[in-house]
Amino acid sequence: MKKGEPEPTFEPSGRSVMGSLESTLLAKIEEVNEKMRAEKDAEQLSKLGEALSILLENLEKARRIERRK
């Protein structure tokens, strides 16, 4: 991309990439949450907690980027 050119936007199927990303992250967060509810093993709970933390951080970043537009 050259200086001064507008940043390209990608909207597959009339939906923004960021909106799609947010939906994907929310679905994954829900999946991890359900697994955590059923899990009894502390080590596995710790791994799921780490995954949940990463997903939440990425959701926050995606929403921050979306707000800047």
User: Does 24 score more than 90 pLDDT?
Assistant: yes
- In this prediction, residues 7-34 reach a mean pLDDT of 80
Mean pLDDT of the chain: 86
Nearest-angstrom CA–CA distance, 35 and 13:
31
Q: CA–CA separation, 65 vs 56, rounded Å?
A: 14
Q: What distance lies between CA 26 and its chain's CA centroid? A: 6
> Residue 18's pLDDT is what?
82
What's this model's pTM, rounded to 2 decimal places? Answer: 0.73
Q: How confident is the model at residue 26 (pLDDT cuts 50, 70, 90)?
A: very high
Domain limits of the chain? 14-68
Alpha carbon distance 64, 69 (integer Å): 9
The C-alpha angle with vertex 60 and arms to 62 and 12, in degrees rounded to 5, equals: 20
Q: What is the pLDDT of residues 32-59, one digit of tens each?
A: 999 999 999 999 999 999 999 999 999 9
